[in-house]
Amino acid sequence: MKIIFISFFILISSQISAHECILQGTSAKEITIYNACKADLKKRAPSTDLNNSLLKVKIKELKSENKNLKNQLLDLKIRLNSILQRVDSYLN
């Protein structure tokens, strides 16, 4: 069922994004239709402000994840150094 839904979504989204405005001729009527099509496409396009805010949120999440991973790595280094010191003390 999931495969059917995903296939349907991909099919629909590819048809939506594949729409292009094509200038058919040089008459005033055809140029007006072309310009109206271009203006309509701009209205449908997602705003750059929304994209920028979503990217900022994603960057914030990634920075937080990066900080957590660095802390985990530091903790692991400390534990490994502790183990190495114990092993050295037994060997000496």
Q: 3-state SS of the chain?
A: CHHHHHHHHHHHHHHHHCCCCCCCCCCHHHHHHHHHHHHHHHHHCCCHHHHHHHHHHHHHHHHHHHHHHHHHHHHHHHHHHHHHHHHHHHHC
Give residue 71's pLDDT. 97
- The C-alpha angle 3, 45, 10, rounded to 5 degrees, equals 10
Give residue 15's pLDDT. 47
Q: How many residues does the chain have?
A: 92
Q: Whole-model pTM?
A: 0.46
Residue 50 predicted with pLDDT over 60: yes
Give residue 18's pLDDT. 53
Decide which of 53 and 61 is more confident: 61
Structure tokens at 18: 């594949």
Longest Cα separation, the chain: 94
